[in-house]
C-alpha cells in the first residue's frame, strides 16, 4: 500500500510540473497590488487607459491597460512607495503619489481624467484609502516606521504583533527566555504551534512550530525587516499548512540611493530599577542592589545600487552581548530538617507526627544543596535560599539580499540569513544548561510577466535550524554519587518539594526544510484568478537525552530526607538519533471577483495533503513506535500486545479540501466604509516534531527503566548511596507512547468586520471573530490505571457518604472503620499488566473561540500616528497543546499533567491555556512641533516621542496535588483538589496585590481517598499585566543625507510589578498543605529598564 501511495505521489507531482499549474501559498506574503477604475469627469468609464506604477525608490515600473469597464490591476508589486500615472490620448495625464504599497495589501487608486493633452499633468498627492474594500481578510500591519521607532525591549520586532487585536501570549512568559521558540503567540484563540511565520514567503518557524528566536528568546533583525503583517482570519486559499494565523514579513531591499545605519543600544544595571523580589543574599530581609546586568546590541546596515535602476543590494549585521544576573529564590531544606528535627505525619497510611531523621544515604546529596539564608518561617521543613545567578548570552545575525531586474519582463531576488547564538542558563544549584543555536534561511524568487494581465512567480526556500542543549556541572561532584554510569557523566535529577536538583535534559534538533512554489496570477475582466501548487520536504533529526542520568521522584519532604523515593526513572541507553521525513503538497485556486463596483467576492478552494512520515532508520511509516522491526501500535488499553499495522496508512489528510469564501462591500461607493465577512476551513499539519517526540520515548531509540516502591511500608529500593547503580538487577519495562487512531485536525473560522474612516488617515474598526476546532490532538499522561467503578455508598459501609454516589471511584479499600478510615487496603493492579506506563496521543480534542474587537488607527500624517486595539474574548478547549511540552510555559499550563478522569474527556473541558479575556494595547509616534529658526533648531528641533501601552487580564491555570489521592496507580501524575462547597474556584485575595498570598488555598481540600478531585481545569485566573514603554529620540542633521539620532527608551517606565503564576501545587503527600501554595516568587515582566542608543543614519 505504501508503494502505491508513493507512485501516485510521484506521478501527481510530475503532472503538475508538466502542466505548469504552479503557484505558491506564500506569494501574497511578500507583495501587494494596485487596482482601481478610470473614469472621465462625467463618470463614464474609460477603457484603454495606460496605467503605470513606478517605484519611487528604484525607478522600476509596471504597466496595465484598463478594460472595457475601466478596471485595471497591477498585481504582485514589491512593497514600497509608488507613483501611479494614468494617461489616454485626448485626456490630461493624472499622477497620484505617493501610494504606499504594503505587504499583502490592495491599494485602490481610482482616476478621474479631464479633457486635455497628454502633456498636461495633474498631480494629486495623498495616500490610498485606509479602509479595506476588496478583501475579507482580518489583519493588522506593522510598518517600517513602527518597527524603526517604537521602543522594543530586546529589539524583538515580533513583540509588535501583540499590538494587533486577537493576538495574545501567556503572561507567564513575556520575559525573554532561552529556547528557540521566541514569544509564543496565540492568534485568534488557536494553539501557539498553529501559526505560520513567513520571511520573504518562506516558512521559518522553529522545530516546535513556534516563532523562531535565538537563545535569548528574541527575534532579531529590526534593521533588516521592512514591515510585517499579522493575519488572524478570513485569509485566502493561498495560505495553508496550519489552522492558526499568519505572520508574514518582508526584508528590506536596496534602492537607487546608498543608505544605511550604524548603531549601538546599551543597557546596564545602573540604569535599572530593582525587581520586586530582589533580595540581599547575605540578608534576604533587606532589598538588594540591582543584580549585575550589561547589554550591548550593535551593528550596521547598508543598501544601495549595484547597477542603478537594475541591480540592488542590502546587507546587515547585528551583534548581542548580554551579561545578566538574576535573583533566584529556591526552596531548600530548613536547618531543622537538616538536623533531623523536622516533624511530619506520614500519609498514607495516616500516622502520628514524629521526627524525621536524615538518611546517611541522602546526606551526600543534601550537602550539595545550599544552606538557607532566610530564617525558617514554618515547620514544613522548607526554607528559602536567595542567590544571584549569572546568565551570559551572545548572538550574531547576518543578512544579505540581492534584487536584480533581468529584463522588462523578468526580475529576481535572493536573500540569505544566518542567526547564531549561545547562552548559559541557571538550571539548579548544581548544574547549568548551555544552549547553542544556529539558524540558516535562504529564499530565491523569480518573477516573469507574460503580459500585463498574466504574471508568474517561482520561489525556492531552504531553512536549517540546529539547536543543542546540554547540562554542565558548576560545582565539584564526586563521581561515586552519580545515579548511573552512563554518558554524559552528569549528576541526575531529583524532583521533590525542594528546588530542582541536578541535570535533567540534553537535546539536539536539526530540522531541514526545502520548499518550492510557483504563483500564477491572471486578471480577466472583473476576475482576478490565482492558481498554484506548493511543495515542502521536511526533515526532522533529533536526539533527546532525557533522564539518561536518572530521575528520583520524592512526593514529600519526609520521604526526601529518609531516602524513600516514590520511584526511580531513567532511560537505560542514550537515545539514538531519530530521522523523520515527510512531504507537504498543496494546491489552490482563488478568485477575487469584482461583482460590482461596490462588492467584491473572495472565493477559493485549497487541497493539501501530507505524506505519511518515514523514519529513515527503518524506512517504515511512523506515528508510533517501531519495536523489533515491527510497526507497533496499541489499539486499545486492554490489548495484550502491540499490534502490527498502522492507522496512519489511512492517511487522513488525503481528503483535505478547504473552501474559503468572503465578501467586501463598500455600501456608499466612496471607499470610506466597508462591511466584510468571511468563512474558511483550515487543516492543521501533523508535524514531524510530534512524531519525532513520540518516537524518542520508545524503543529502539530509548529503553526505559522505572522501579516503583511497593505500597505500604516505605521501601528503600532503588538504593541511594555512593557506588550504587540503580540499573543493577533492574529490567527494562515496556513503556509506550502510542498515537491512537490518527485523525485530521481542523478549525472552522468566521468573521465579520465593519470599518469606517472618521477623518482623513483615521479609521475605526468593529469586528467579531469566532472559530471551532475539531479532532485536535491532545496527549494524555499515563492511562494504564487501575480499573475504577461508579461509587455507591450503600456498598461501602462507613465509607464516603452518598454525596459521592456516581463519581469515579478506585476500590482500594475493602473495609472502612467507623469514622471513615480504611482498615483493609487492596493493591489495585493496572488495567493492562503487559505494559507499565502508557501515554497516548488522542485525536478527539475540541475548541471554541469567540471575540469582539474595537480598533482605532491613524496612519502617520502631520507628525502623528497612533493605534488602539481592544479585544474581549473567550477560548475554551480540552487541551491547549499538542505534545508533552506546552510552549506556553510547561507543566502549570499543560492540561495533560493535571488529570481529573482520563476516561471522561468532559472533565478536561475548560478555559484554554491561551485564554486571555481582555487585552488592550496602544502605540503612538509624535514628532514634536518645535522648529525654531537659526542655530537653536539644532537643539529644540527634531524631537520625537513614542510609546507602547499594554494591559491584559491573566491566563487561566489550575491547582494540583502531587500525590495519587485517587489510588489510581498514576504515581507520576498531578491530580486536582476538591473544592469546599459554597466557595469560589477562583479565590483571589487582597484584590491581587499581595504576591505572597495571591489565592485563598483554604477553599481547596484533599479529595476523599479513591476519588479524583472535582475542581475543574483552568478555573483560576492568574495575575494580569499593565506596562508602559516610552521612547524619546532626537535627530541631529549632519548633511542633507546623513544624521545622528540619540534615543532614550524606558521599559515599564512606571516600574509596575507584573506577577507570574503562583505556586500551583497545594499538597505533596501528607495532609498538610504545601506552605508555598498560592505564593508568587517571580515577575513576568522586567522592572523599569532604561536603554540608550546612538544611531548614524545615511
pLDDT tier at 122, thresholds 50, 70, 90: confident
pLDDT at 842: 80
Share of the chain above pLDDT 90, in %: 43
Torsion angle, CA of 212/215/216/221, rounded to 10 degrees? Answer: -50
For domain 32-128, the CATH superfamily is Carboxypeptidase-like, regulatory domain (2.60.40.1120)
22: pLDDT strictly greater than 70 = no
pLDDT at 894: 41
Which range among 324-333, 691-700, 759-768, 897-906 shows the weakest confidence by mean pLDDT? 691-700
In sequence order, the β-bridge partners of residue 467 are 437, 509
Most confidently modeled range among 510-514, 609-613, 852-856: 852-856
3-class SS of residue 523: strand
* Strands 736-738 vs 838-861: parallel, antiparallel or unpaired: parallel
pLDDT at 527: 95
pLDDT at 68: 92
Find all residues with CB under 8 Å of 646, minimum gap 6, and list them. 612, 621, 623, 624, 631, 633
Do 55 and 81 form a contact (C-beta atoms < 8 A)? yes
Query: Residue 505: how many CA atoms within 13 Å on its side-chain side?
Result: 12
pLDDT tier at 530, thresholds 50, 70, 90: very high
pLDDT at 305: 96
616 versus 1092: the higher-pLDDT residue is 1092
pLDDT tens figures, 151-192 = 998 898 888 999 999 998 865 444 444 455 677 888 998 888
434: pLDDT strictly greater than 90 = no
Do 386 and 281 form a contact (C-beta atoms < 8 A)? yes
pLDDT tier at 537, thresholds 50, 70, 90: very high
Q: Is the peptide bond before 718 cis (omega within 30 degrees of 0)?
A: yes
E-state strands within 363-409:
382-405
Cα separation, 849 vs 847, in Å, equals 7
Which range among 124-133, 488-497, 756-765 shows the weakest confidence by mean pLDDT? 488-497
Do 954 and 1022 form a contact (C-beta atoms < 8 A)? yes
Neighbours of 587 (CB within 10 A): 21
Q: Report the pLDDT averaged over residues 418-430.
A: 85
Do 201 and 238 form a contact (C-beta atoms < 8 A)? no
pLDDT tens figures, 941-999 = 889 999 999 999 999 988 888 778 888 886 556 788 999 999 999 999 888 888 888 89
Burial class (CB in 10 A: 0-12, 13-18, 19+), 847: buried
CA 333 to chain CA centroid, Å, is 36
Find all residues with CB under 8 Å of 187, minimum gap 6, and list them. 166, 167, 194, 195, 230, 232, 244, 245, 247
Cα separation, 357 vs 558, in Å, equals 9
Q: Quote the cell numbers at residue 552.
A: 528520583
| Per-residue 3-state assignment (H helix, E strand, C coil) for 254-294 | CCCCCEEEEEEEEEEHHHCCCCCCCEECCEEEEECCCCCEE
3-class SS of residue 186: strand
Do 415 and 400 form a contact (C-beta atoms < 8 A)? yes
* Strands 259-268 vs 567-571: parallel, antiparallel or unpaired: unpaired
26-258-316 Cα angle (round to 5): 55
Cα separation, 133 vs 665, in Å, equals 6
pLDDT at 482: 74
244 versus 6: the higher-pLDDT residue is 244
Q: Which residue shows C-alpha cell 461583482?
A: 595
List phi, psi (to 5°) of 335. Answer: -60, -35
Find all residues with CB under 8 Å of 458, minimum gap 6, and list them. 22, 445, 446, 447, 448, 516, 517, 518, 519
Neighbours of 626 (CB within 10 A): 21
Cα separation, 932 vs 706, in Å, equals 78
pLDDT at 729: 44
pLDDT tens figures, 613-637 = 777 765 555 544 332 222 233 334 4
pLDDT tier at 411, thresholds 50, 70, 90: very high
933: pLDDT strictly greater than 80 = no
Closest CA to 743 of 773, 772, 776, 771: 776
Quote the mean pLDDT of the chain.
81
Q: Where are the domains of the chain?
A: 32-128, 140-334+361-783+837-884, 786-815
Cα separation, 979 vs 1007, in Å, equals 9
Cα separation, 983 vs 763, in Å, equals 46
Rg over CA atoms, the chain: 31
> What does pTM read for this prediction?
0.85
E-state strands within 890-967:
898-899, 910-911, 918-927, 943-952, 956-957, 960-961
E-state strands within 30-136:
31-40, 50-55, 61-65, 71-78, 80-87, 93-101, 106-108, 111-113, 121-125
- Structural class in CATH, domain 140-334+361-783+837-884: mainly beta
Torsion angle, CA of 189/194/200/204, rounded to 10 degrees? Answer: 140
Q: Which residue shows C-alpha cell 482623513?
A: 760
Do 1053 and 1027 form a contact (C-beta atoms < 8 A)? no
pLDDT tier at 113, thresholds 50, 70, 90: very high
Which range among 49-63, 269-283, 693-707, 743-757 shows the weakest confidence by mean pLDDT? 693-707
pLDDT tier at 714, thresholds 50, 70, 90: very low
Do 561 and 359 form a contact (C-beta atoms < 8 A)? yes
Do 952 and 959 form a contact (C-beta atoms < 8 A)? no
200 versus 991: the higher-pLDDT residue is 200
Element housing 1043 (H / E) = strand 1043-1051
Torsion angle, CA of 375/378/383/386, rounded to 10 degrees? Answer: -50
785 versus 224: the higher-pLDDT residue is 224
Amino acid at each position: 500500500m505504501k508503494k502505491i501511495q508513493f507512485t501516485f505521489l510521484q506521478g501527481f507531482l510530475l503532472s503538475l510540473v508538466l502542466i505548469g499549474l504552479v503557484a505558491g501559498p506564500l506569494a501574497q506574503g511578500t507583495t501587494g497590488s494596485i487596482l482601481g477604475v478610470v473614469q472621465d469627469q462625467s463618470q463614464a468609464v474609460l477603457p484603454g487607459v495606460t496605467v503605470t506604477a513606478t517605484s519611487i525608490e528604484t525607478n522600476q515600473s509596471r504597466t496595465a491597460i484598463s478594460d472595457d469597464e475601466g478596471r485595471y490591476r497591477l498585481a504582485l508589486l514589491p512593497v514600497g512607495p509608488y507613483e501611479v500615472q494614468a494617461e489616454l490620448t485626448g485626456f490630461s495625464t493624472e499622477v497620484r503619489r505617493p501610494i504606499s504599497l504594503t505587504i499583502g495589501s490592495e491599494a485602490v487608486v481610482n482616476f478621474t481624467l479631464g479633457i486635455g493633452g497628454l502633456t498636461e499633468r495633474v498631480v494629486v498627492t495623498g495616500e490610498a484609502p485606509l479602509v479595506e474594500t476588496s478583501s475579507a481578510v482580518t489583519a493588522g500591519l506593522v510598518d517600517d516606521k513602527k518597527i524603526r521607532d517604537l521602543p522594543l525591549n530586546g529589539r524583538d520586532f515580533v513583540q509588535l504583533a501583540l499590538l494587533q487585536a486577537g493576538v495574545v501570549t501567556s503572561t507567564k512568559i513575556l520575559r525573554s527566555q532561552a529556547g528557540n521558540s521566541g514569544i509564543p503567540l496565540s492568534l485568534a484563540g488557536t494553539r501557539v504551534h498553529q501559526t505560520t511565520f513567513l520571511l520573504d514567503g518562506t516558512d521559518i518557524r522553529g522545530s516546535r512550530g513556534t516563532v523562531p528566536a535565538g537563545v535569548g528568546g528574541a527575534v532579531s533583525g529590526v534593521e533588516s525587516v521592512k514591515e510585517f503583517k499579522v493575519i488572524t482570519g478570513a485569509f485566502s486559499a493561498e495560505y495553508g499548512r496550519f489552522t492558526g494565523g499568519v505572520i508574514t514579513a518582508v526584508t528590506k531591499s536596496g534602492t537607487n540611493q546608498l543608505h544605511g545605519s550604524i548603531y549601538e543600544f546599551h543597557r546596564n544595571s545602573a540604569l535599572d530599577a530593582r525587581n520586586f523580589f530582589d533580595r540581599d543574599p547575605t540578608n534576604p530581609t533587606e532589598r538588594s542592589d540591582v543584580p549585575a546586568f550589561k547589554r550591548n546590541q550593535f551593528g550596521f546596515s547598508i543598501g544601495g545600487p549595484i547597477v542603478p535602476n537594475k541591480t540592488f543590494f542590502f546587507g546587515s549585521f547585528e551583534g548581542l552581548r548580554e551579561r545578566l544576573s538574576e535573583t533566584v529564590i529556591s526552596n531548600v531544606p530548613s536547618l531543622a530538617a537538616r538536623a533531623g528535627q523536622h516533624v511530619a505525619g506520614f500519609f498514607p497510611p495516616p500516622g502520628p507526627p514524629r521526627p524525621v531523621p536524615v538518611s546517611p544515604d541522602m546526606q551526600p546529596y543534601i550537602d550539595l544543596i545550599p544552606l538557607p539564608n532566610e530564617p525558617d518561617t514554618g515547620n514544613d521543613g522548607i526554607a528559602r535560599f536567595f542567590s544571584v545567578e549569572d546568565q551570559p548570552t551572545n548572538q550574531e545575525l547576518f543578512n544579505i539580499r540581492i534584487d536584480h531586474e533581468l529584463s522588462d519582463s523578468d526580475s529576481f531576488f535572493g536573500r540569505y540569513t544566518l542567526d547564531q547564538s549561545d547562552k548559559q542558563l541557571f538550571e539548579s544549584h548544581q548544574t547549568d544548561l548551555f544552549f547553542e543555536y544556529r539558524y540558516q534561511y535562504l529564499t530565491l524568487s523569480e518573477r516573469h510577466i507574460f503580459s500585463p494581465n498574466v504574471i508568474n512567480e517561482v520561489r525556492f526556500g531552504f531553512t536549517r535550524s540546529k539547536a543543542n542543549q546540554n547540562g554542565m556541572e558548576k560545582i565539584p561532584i564526586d563521581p561515586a554519587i552519580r545515579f548511573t554510569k552512563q554518558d554524559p557523566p552528569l549528576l541526575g535529577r531529583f524532583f521533590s518539594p525542594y528546588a530542582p536538583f541536578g541535570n535533567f535534559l540534553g537535546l539536539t534538533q536539526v530540522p531541514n526544510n526545502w520548499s518550492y512554489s510557483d504563483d500564477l496570477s491572471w486578471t480577466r475582466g472583473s476576475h482576478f484568478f490565482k492558481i498554484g501548487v506548493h511543495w515542502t520536504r521536511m526533515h526532522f533529526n533529533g536526539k533527546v537525552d532525557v533522564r539518561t542520568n536518572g530521575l528520583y521522584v520524592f512526593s514529600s519532604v519526609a520521604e526526601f530526607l529518609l531516602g524513600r523515593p516514590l520511584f526511580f526513572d531513567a532511560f537505560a541507553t542514550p537515545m539514538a538519533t531519530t530521522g523523520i521525513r515527510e512531504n507537504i503538497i498543496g494546491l489552490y485556486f482563488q478568485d477575487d471577483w469584482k461583482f460590482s463596483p461596490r462588492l467584491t467576492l473572495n472565493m477559493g478552494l485549497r487541497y493539501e495533503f501530507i505524506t505519511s512520515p518515514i523514519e529513515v532508520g527503518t524506512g517504515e511509516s511512523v506515528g508510533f513506535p517501531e519495536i523489533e522491526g515491527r510497526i507497533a501500535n496499541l489499539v486499545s488499553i486492554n490489548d495484550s500486545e502491540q499490534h502490527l499495522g498502522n492507522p496512519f496508512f489511512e492517511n487522513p489528510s488525503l481528503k483535505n479540501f478547504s473552501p474559503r469564501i468572503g465578501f467586501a462591500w463598500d455600501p456608499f461607493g466612496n471607499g470610506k466604509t466597508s462591511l466584510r465577512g468571511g468563512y474558511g476551513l483550515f487543516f492543521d499539519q501533523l508535524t514531524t516534531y510530534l512524531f519525532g517526540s513520540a518516537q524518542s520515548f520508545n524503543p529502539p531509540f530509548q529503553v526505559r527503566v522505572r522501579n516503583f516502591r511497593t505500597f505500604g511500608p516505605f521501601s528503600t529500593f532503588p538504593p541511594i548511596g555512593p557506588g550504587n547503580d540503580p540499573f543493577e538487577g533492574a529490567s527494562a519495562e515496556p513503556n509506550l507512547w502510542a498515537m491512537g487512531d490518527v485523525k485530521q485536525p481542523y478549525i472552522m473560522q468566521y468573521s465579520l468586520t465593519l470599518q469606517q474612516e472618521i477623518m482623513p488617515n483615521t479609521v475605526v474598526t468593529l469586528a467579531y471573530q469566532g472559530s471551532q476546532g475539531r479532532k485536535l490532538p491532545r496527549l494524555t499522561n499515563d492511562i494504564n490505571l487501575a480499573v475504577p467503578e461508579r461509587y455507591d455508598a450503600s456498598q461501602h459501609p462507613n465509607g464516603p457518604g452518598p454525596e459521592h454516589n456516581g463519581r469515579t471511584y478506585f476500590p482500594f479499600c475493602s473495609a472502612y472503620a467507623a469514622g471513615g478510615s480504611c482498615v483493609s487496603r487492596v493493591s489495585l493492579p493496572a488495567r493492562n499488566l503487559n505494559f507499565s506506563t502508557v501515554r497516548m496521543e488522542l485525536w478527539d480534542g475540541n475548541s471554541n473561540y469567540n471575540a469582539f474587537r474595537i480598533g482605532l488607527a491613524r496612519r502617520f500624517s502631520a507628525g502623528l500616528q497612533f493605534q488602539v486595539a481592544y479585544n474581549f474574548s473567550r477560548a475554551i478547549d480540552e487541551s491547549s497543546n499538542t505534545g508533552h511540552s506546552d510552549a506556553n510555559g510547561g507543566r502549570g499550563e499543560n492540561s495533560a499533567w493535571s488529570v481529573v478522569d482520563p476516561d471522561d474527556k468532559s472533565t478536561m473541558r475548560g478555559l484554554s491555556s491561551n485564554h486571555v479575556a481582555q487585552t488592550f494595547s496602544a502605540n503612538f509616534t509624535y514628532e514634536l512641533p518645535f522648529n525654531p529658526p537659526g542655530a537653536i533648531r539644532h537643539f529644540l528641533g527634531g524631537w520625537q516621542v513614542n510609546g507602547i501601552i499594554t494591559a491584559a487580564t491573566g491566563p487561566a491555570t489550575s491547582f494540583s496535588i502531587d500525590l495519587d489521592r485517587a489510588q489510581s496507580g498514576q504515581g507520576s501524575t498531578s491530580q486536582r483538589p476538591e473544592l469546599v462547597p459554597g466557595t469560589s474556584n477562583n479565590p483571589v485575595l487582597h484584590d491581587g496585590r499581595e504576591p505572597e498570598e495571591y489565592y485563598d488555598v483554604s477553599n481547596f481540600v484533599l479529595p476523599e481517598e479513591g476519588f479524583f478531585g472535582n475542581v475543574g481545569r483552568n478555573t483560576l485566573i492568574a495575575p494580569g499585566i499593565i506596562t508602559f514603554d516610552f521612547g524619546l529620540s532626537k535627530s541631529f542633521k549632519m548633511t542633507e543625507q546623513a544624521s545622528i539620532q540619540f534615543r532614550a527608551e524606558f521599559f515599564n517606565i512606571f516600574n509596575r510589578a507584573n506577577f507570574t503564576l503562583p505556586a500551583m501545587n497545594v499538597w505533596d503527600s501528607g495532609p498538610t498543605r504545601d506552605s508555598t501554595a498560592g505564593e508568587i516568587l517571580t515577575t513576568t515582566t522586567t522592572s523599569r529598564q532604561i536603554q540608550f542608543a546612538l544611531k548614524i543614519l545615511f
